[in-house]
Amino acid sequence: MKSVCQAVGPFEKDVQSRSSALDLSTIKSPQEGKTALQGFLNAVAADTDKAVSQLKAAGSPDVKNGEKVSAAIVSAFTQLRGALGHAVTAAGNLPTSSATAFKTAAVSLGNTVRTSMSNIGSGLNGLSSPELESAAKKEKACQSLGS
């Protein structure tokens, strides 16, 4: 549990920090907005790569369905990385000819990313382990996680 939480915790914190720092209200041009979104998505993709590596290195817990739980978590983060890769490409294609065209396309991209993330997270539904939940409650590295 400690290894998993040490992979997920910093990832979660970094994504929240990067999201808070991405203040689109200060963007002065579509090109500036495009550059900011590309930077954000590339950074989150790199964070995801790091989390996937750490999750793979954590291995499978020695509990009932431990391999299944581990594989599902690694798969979810791997899918997230793929979705972010597509988002990075889409951000590179955002129009910058007008503020309206950029805003419309950027909002659409944001909605696509959110939908992808929701779909990926749904793959973890139904996976539970009382042993892992108990271990997570006791593990300091897990106590700061969102949910």
pLDDT in tens, 63-94: 888 888 889 889 989 999 999 999 999 999 99
Reading the chain (147 residues) residue by residue, the pLDDT tens digits are 888 888 888 888 888 888 888 877 788 899 999 999 999 999 999 999 999 999 999 998 888 888 888 898 899 899 999 999 999 999 999 999 999 999 899 999 988 888 887 777 776 777 777 888 888 888 888 887 765
Buried b (16+ CB within 10 A) or exposed e, 11-35: bbebbeeeeeebeeeebeebeebbe
User: For the whole model, what pTM was predicted?
Assistant: 0.83
The DSSP H or E segment spanning 109 is: helix 99-122
- The residue count of the chain comes to 147
- Which residues, in sequence order, are CB contacts of 7 under 8 Å at separation 6+? 50, 51, 54, 55, 58
